[in-house]
Amino acid sequence: MLPRKIIIDTDPGQDDAVAILLALASPELELLGITCVAGNVPLELTARNARIVCELAGRPEIRVFAGCARPLARKLVTAEHVHGKTGLDGIDLPDPEMPLQDQHAVDFLIDTLRREAPGSVTLVPIGPLTNIATALQRAPDIAPRIAGIVLMGGAYFEVGNITPTAEFNIYVDPEAAKHVFAAGVPLTIMPLDVTHKALVTRARVDAFRALPGRVGPAVASWTEFFERFDKEKYGSEGAPLHDPCTIAFLLRPELFSGRHINVEIETGSDLTLGMSVADWWRVSGRAPNATFMKDIDAEGFFALLTERLARL
Ligand code: RIB
Ligand code: CA
């Protein structure tokens, strides 16, 4: 079977880094490119970090593109309090030698979707949705050509992680999220409701650290750094591996379960800005537009992740 073509849109971030590594370790996927967006840290750092991760995986040929440096209509909010000043705190890795592509990430998204066969490319946004929304606004013709969007973002039962009601990726650019959720592209959402069940426990960190080569120990150090935020706030057992849930879904969808429901994004209220209003109980009468995940086979997820990281 031919590998599935994907583009990862990202704001690395330690958990983004693990998602990129999982994709690079998986022959079922063909990574056409990595498009970077401002989010966890400013764009200059996310574009640097994505290349650091590719070089760590021994894949300097992967094309990395810089995209939007700020949200569609708001000031950028970043998350150094979670990911550290560099966005990849936890281990010191050298600046990348591989080049950043000259083309803007949004142009790469549009050109690739227009060139590749309709329905052959899946988008995997794991940061704020600014690049994706900008591409859809600038080239509405690409929407029916996208096979699907599998994104990390939003929350319902788990409520917010950056405000009482909003998850970070959606909160940073709610207007972008609103546009993407209304674009009519098949949407699979990995919200905090599921990613908060993918916790890197002590045993799982030890398993990463015991892997041969440089990748496992790096992932262990990254998760030991960014677990502080969730341990202090939620009393979690370890770091929630948010972003890798998207790639794991592409590899083994049976690890996840959820509902096909309507999900809308709040952009008008200051109090609940960026809230993903998931109609889990189907009371609104609004048409379903997304598969909203709620449960994960965490043991199966970590077994897949550990096995794949060992290949790098
Ligand atoms: O809320 C979690 C999300 O925000 C993850 O994608 C993490 O990397 C940050 O971007
Ligand atoms: Ca991210």
Residues 102-131 have pLDDT tens digits of: 999 999 999 999 999 999 999 999 999 999
Residue-level pLDDT at 159: 93
Which three-class secondary structure string do you get for 218-233?
HHHHHHHHHHHHHHHH
Ligand 1 mean position, distance from CA 2 (Å): 30
C-alpha closest to that of 154 among 64, 299, 289, 14: 289
Task: Output the six-digit token pair for 267.
Answer: 């952009």
CB 91 within 8 A of CB 44: no
- Matching residue, tokens 């917010």: 160
Confidence of residue 89 (pLDDT cuts 50, 70, 90): very high
Helices and strands in the chain, H and E counts = 12, 12
Structure tokens at 217: 């120990």
Mean residue pLDDT of the chain comes to 97
Q: What is the percentage of the chain residues whose pLDDT exceeds 90?
A: 96
Q: How far apart are CA 301 and CA 274, in angstroms?
A: 28
> pLDDT tens digits, residue range 227-241?
888 888 888 889 999
Spacing, Cα 150 to ligand 2 middle (Å)? 13
Q: Is 243 in the pocket of ligand 1 (CB under 6 A)?
A: yes
Q: Whose CA is nearest to atom 1 of ligand 1?
A: 168
Range of the domain at 61: 4-309
Report the alpha-carbon distance of residue 215 to residue 80 in Å, rounded: 23
C-beta 46 within 6 A of ligand 1: no
Pairing type for strands 239-240 and 199-200 reads antiparallel
CATH number, position 169: 3.90.245.10
Alpha-carbon distance values, 151 to 62, 75, 125, 284, 294 (Å)? 21, 22, 5, 23, 14
The CA 169 to ligand 1 mean position distance, Å, reads: 6
**pLDDT over 90 at 302, yes or no:** yes
Residue 168: per-residue pLDDT: 98
Atom of ligand 1 nearest to the CA of 16: 8
Q: State residue 100's pLDDT score.
A: 98
pLDDT of residue 236: 86
* Max Cα-Cα span within the chain: 53
| pLDDT computed for residue 67 by the predictor | 98
- 260-277 pLDDT, tens digit each: 999 999 999 999 999 999
Q: What is the pTM of this model?
A: 0.98
* Average pLDDT of the residues in 161-171: 97
For residue 222, give the nearest of 84, 114, 116 by alpha carbon: 84
Please state, in angstroms and rounded to a whole number, the distance separating the CA atoms of residues 274 and 163: 9
- Judge if the beta carbon of residue 249 lies within 6 A of ligand 1: no
Q: Rounded mean pLDDT of 172-193?
A: 98
Q: Which of 104, 196, 242, 260 is catalytic?
A: 242
Per the annotation, the verdict on 242 as an active-site residue is yes
Distance of CA 25 to the CA centre of its chain: 17
Task: Count up the domains in the chain and report the number.
Answer: 1
Residues 6 or more apart whose CB falls under 8 angstroms from that of 201 comprise 237, 238
Alpha-carbon span 252 to 250, nearest angstrom: 6
Residue 209 corresponds to which tokens in the numbers above? 């650290």
With b for 16 or more beta-carbon neighbours within 10 A and e for fewer, the 51-63 pattern comes to bbbbbbbebeebb
Q: What is the pLDDT of residue 233?
A: 86
pLDDT band at 179 (very low <50, low <70, confident <90, very high): very high
Question: What is the average per-residue pLDDT within 27-36?
Answer: 98
Q: What is the spatial distance between Cα 40 and Cα 307, in angstroms, rounded to a whole number?
A: 27
pLDDT tens-digit series, residues 50-66: 999 999 999 999 999 99
Confidence of residue 88 (pLDDT cuts 50, 70, 90): very high
